[in-house]
Chain A
Amino acid sequence: MNEYIEEVAYYFPEMQLAVSQTVRMMSISMIFTFIIGLPLGIFLYLTRQKKQQVRYSLLNTYVNIVRSFPFLLFVVALIPFTRFLLGTAFGTTAASVPLAFVGIAMFGRLVEQVLLDLPKEVMELAESLGATWWQLIWEFLLVEARSGIILSFTSVTISLVSYSTVMGIVGGGGVGDFAIRYGYQTYRYSIMYTTIVLMILTVAIVQWSGNSLSRILDKRK
């Protein structure tokens, strides 16, 4: 036991650095996931409802391509774009780019599905009251779908925590990279399992927070 504590204490500074890298990658990518993915999902839903086939097909194709791409290959394929955007394709900030791309596509699709599950009466009421597009989104769709949207965002966050563990390949660092380099590759399995437990706890906290917030905001049942 003492040996284990000593080992964890020895690697604690590296572990702290790895956690801060994961937090940074996640924060940047989740902010973009929310501010781009939410409008994307709403737009997917509205173009589908209004039968605007061309617009819907364009967005739908983008979402399908990004979501079906094997993630590791996607990170590599995006290197030229990341370099064009940030001047470098290496490091923690650069690693946020592919994460954000995937997060936006996933969240957009989930938001669309949540909106499709709303009762048709919501659209009918908005139409009857002569709501503008903005009012339809703000006063009707987001109000009625908010708990589902929060649960979707929670799921995407958890998926991105998982995706972030492979960002070591572009020098993104993070908890996953730490577990592989300091745990698996140097045969210090205690370090690797400690990191895994840490991630399980993180995911549990994220899920619990999402569920709680969703429950508080959901007045339907």
Chain B
Amino acid sequence: MIQIDQVSKHFSNERVYLEALTNITLNIEEREIIGVVGESGSGKSTLLRLLDLMEDPTNGRILIDGQDTQQISLKKRRQLKKEIGLVFQQFNLLSNKTVADNVALPLKLVGQKDANRVQEMLRFVGLNEKANVYPRHLSGGQKQRVAIARALINQPRLLLCDEPTSSLDTRHTFEIIQLLKKAHEAYQPTIVFVSHEIDVIQQLCQRVIVLERGKLVGIVENMPHVRNQFQETYYQHVIERLRQ
């Protein structure tokens, strides 16, 4: 689905030159859940910004379904963005919009209005009773579930997650992981999951790439600990982890 072909990304101004990514080559398959790990400054978020078409590579190409993202028209790029959902670390909900309006935002931007679809997504993330509530009344975990509902509302083929559990406690982290597994089963998106939490990556990802100072230094295939029973409760999960 996605081919990252010798991609580099540099940022520079008069004073600073930063090589965020250097010569990355990687293929991401349709419906795969791939993890990206690395320390702060390793280029994880830059890679996600490139995949979300928020930035263009300095060198190299990114091909989505064989189309070079730098060669397509602005209109086509907008269409392509509709097929990409992004979940942020800090949720990025609009505080002055209700939960339902936040979830409906991607639809609204493409000129659609579908209250049933919004309700369906809120039911999917278990927040249908919070539709008319403002984000300030939600816990961190609930906010992230709203953000996931928003990212999924257009039924994206690619779901990008930028450290979505980093600001959550263990219980909410577990719930978010379970929700992402459920979303993958229901909608089958390709998921690129960026995190520095190895435990979280182990629970979710089938394959993991490791970045260090902008370079791809390793790929781990067939992750051993991936469990797909998303009905597992939090405490079953805790006991299971302690036994390992």
Contacts and interface: CB of A to CB of B under 8 A. Distances in A.
Interface of A: 121-122, 124-125, 127-131, 135, 139-140, 143-144, 146-147, 217-221
B222 interface: no
B109 A128 contact: no
B223 interface: no
Contacts of A124: 88, 92
B92 A220 contact: no
Given A125-B94, A139-B109, A218-B96, A130 B78 contact: yes
B225 to A, nearest CB: 30
A99 B77 CA distance: 46
Given A128-B86, A129-B105, A220 B96 contact: yes
B187 to A, nearest CB: 18
A130 B90 contact: no
A135 B105 CA distance: 10
Across the A-B interface, the 4 shortest Cβ-Cβ residue pairs: A130-B81, A220-B95, A121-B92, A219-B134
Nearest to A140: B94
A219 B136 contact: yes
B94 A143 contact: yes
Tell me the dominant secondary structure on chain B's binding face.
loop
Determine the interface band of chain B, counting residues with CB < 8 A from chain A: 20 to 34
Contacts of A125: 88, 92, 94
A14 B62 CA distance: 75
A89 B72 CA distance: 56
Contacts of A220: 95-96, 136
Contact of A139 (B53, B81, B90, B108): B108
Interface string B40-63: 000000000000111000000000
Contacts of B78: 130
Interface in B75-92: 77-78, 81-82, 86, 88, 90-92
Nearest to A130: B81
B106 interface: yes
Contacts of A121: 88, 90-92
A122 B94 contact: yes
